[in-house]
A and B are shown apart, each in its own frame.
Chain A
Amino acid sequence: MTQIDLDVLGRPIDATEQELLRIYGDLKSLSERTDLAPCALMNVRQAMVMLWNACCDLDLVFEEPEHD
């Protein structure tokens, strides 16, 4: 995932928010994969929506992740 420096309102985001966004992006990519074992994929999706919550609460994203 390319680094994003601004939140949805165009405000700068700090290092912790960057980290949250990166993890969310990684989990979202994993959630779309079809080659993972069910135990991996379903837990990744569960984790992904939790990170979506954190990122959405902090105005870092506003989107439907779809592969949940």
Chain B
Amino acid sequence: MADWSRYWNPKNETMSRDELQALQLFKLQKHVERAWHKSPFHRRLYETAGVTPDQIQSLDDIRRLPFMTREDWMACQAEQPLFGDLITRPREEAIRYHLTSGTSGRQPLRVLDSRKDWSWIAEMWCYGFWGIGVRPTDTVFFAFSYGSFIGFWGAHYCCEKIGSLVIPSGNMTTEQRVKQIAEMKPTVVCATPTYALRMGQCAEQMGIDLKKECNVRRVVISGEPASDPVKRLIENMWGGKACDTAGMTEIGTIMIFEADNQPGGTHIIEDNFIEEVLDPETNEPVPYGEKGERVVTSFGRGFIPLIRYRTKDLVCKVPHTTSDCGRTWDLYEGGILGRVDDMKLIRGTNVYPRAVEAIVREYPEVEEFQIILTREDNIRDEITVKVELAPDKEATWNDLHPKLGKDLADNHEGLRFNVAKADQGELPRFELKAKRLQDLRDQ
């Protein structure tokens, strides 16, 4: 086996922070200059804010630039269908068209990419997959439906670029996918965390022991926040390390990945992105170790310049020294922690769905769950966690029920949670982004 570098790009993944920041500034200046000249959307934003490209003289000057929001983007697409005046090149020069997933229930954003953009998109996945430990000798299975949602598309091309054997599972059913995994024995499986669990449960029902009968070294997860208990559950099912990645359709690719030393967080690909973490109310930067909203500037996509884009993702940045892998890129501790607007206030206590999931996933008997918020007598908010047990774990309900309720309360300042039992097959299953919260309070 070849003696590969552990880094996809040793030069930039280990460069000094001073050099990295100089590189970011150089790219920022060029990128803003180009956006000013080529994107009427950006020109308008900057002129309204009274800022010109020549005012970007230091990295701190990024804060002179106005934010770009999803709402602005949607509005420009509505005013000038289909793509608005954000794009820098004519549609005829694009080679790919994709949409946001639509999970927010709003009009999806439409994105175009050039041949170069698409190659860059795969390249960012290469940083991640290589760091996770994927090599040319690997066989990579994609549990992904290959539709308009960008999802793992870039990862597929990344694996072709790396030289791995790619197995695209397209529109297969979960059972067909599990059968193919058992037959082809991929060494890497890619899925959302929810769907990795779903395939694992399906394999159990089919009498297939993935851990014993397959050779999976890595489960690459993306598309949803993944807490540590979820990752451990996936690892117990599959036998390989569960490594987190996260991206967004708006940038076309991933901006963070969890390297194979699993340092408790995800490295930011800082030679291609500037990731600010801001207090979502004051818009002031928060220091290392504090949670805030990530605001992204991406240097790779030429068709759609993305500069200071407010993501509403909740993150906690920590210094690169948190990891011992040698990369000089900072990390997001725990990856994407949720959404800044995810938090629910229940009888005076803050509840984050991801924190509830982390507790529920400590119970392997639970196969699926939903969080349901209701308002009783028009005044009292109630939170109910409805759980569906694995088919062979029904007998555990009487023990599990009070214990889970106590764990949830203990982790939420004593807030009382109702714990209810769902029938077999009652709760929805997901392949892409799971929706496990129903807020019925204003209905």
Contacts and interface: CB of A to CB of B under 8 A. Distances in A.
A65 B116 contact: yes
A62 B116 contact: no
Contacts of B116: 49, 52, 64-65, 68
B26 A64 contact: no
Given A8-B26, A62-B26, A49 B115 contact: yes
B120 A53 contact: yes
Contacts of B120: 53, 56
Contacts of A65: 116
A57 B123 contact: yes
Given A45-B115, A50-B119, A52-B116, A8 B23 contact: yes
A46 B115 contact: yes
Contacts of B227: none
A14 B317 CA distance: 35
Contact of A53 (B22, B27, B123): B123
Contacts of A52: 116, 119
Given A49-B115, A64-B34, A9 B11 contact: no
A11 B26 CA distance: 13
Nearest to B34: A64
A58 interface: yes
A38 B306 CA distance: 32
B128 interface: no
A62 B119 contact: no
Interface string B1-29: 00000001101100000010011001100
Given A49-B116, A64-B34, A64-B116, A9 B123 contact: no
B119 A49 contact: yes
A32 interface: no
Interface string A1-30: 000000011000000000000000000000
Interface of B: 8-9, 11-12, 19, 22-23, 26-27, 30, 34, 114-116, 119-120, 123, 271, 299, 302
Contact of B23 (A46, A50, A59): A59
A9 B115 contact: no
A52 B122 CA distance: 13
A47 to B, nearest CB: 10
Q: What 3 A-B pairs have minimum CB-CB distances, sorted nearest first? A: A68-B116, A68-B115, A49-B119
Contacts of A45: 115
A7 to B, nearest CB: 9
Contacts of B27: 62
Given A59-B12, A62-B27, A64-B34, A9 B119 contact: no
Given A9-B26, A59-B271, 17 more contacts: A46-B115, A52-B119, A53-B120, A53-B123, A56-B120, A57-B11, A57-B12, A57-B123, A57-B271, A58-B9, A58-B12, A59-B23, A62-B30, A63-B30, A64-B116, A64-B302, A68-B114
A41 B443 CA distance: 59
Contacts of B26: 8-9, 62
Interface of A: 8-9, 45-46, 49-50, 52-53, 56-59, 62-65, 68
B22 A9 contact: yes
A64 B120 CA distance: 11
A52 B271 CA distance: 15
Nearest to B122: A53
A50 B27 CA distance: 19
Contacts of B114: 68
A52 B302 CA distance: 13
B338 to A, nearest CB: 32
B329 to A, nearest CB: 14
B319 to A, nearest CB: 22
Contact of B19 (A9, A62, A64): A9
A57 B9 contact: yes
A53 B9 contact: no
A15 B194 CA distance: 48
A52 B118 CA distance: 12
Contacts of A68: 114-116
B302 A53 contact: no
9 contacts: A8-B26, A49-B115, A49-B116, A50-B119, A52-B119, A53-B119, A57-B11, A63-B30, A68-B114
Contacts of B119: 49-50, 52-53
Contacts of B299: 62
B37 to A, nearest CB: 11
A8 B27 CA distance: 9
B303 to A, nearest CB: 9
Contacts of B9: 57-58
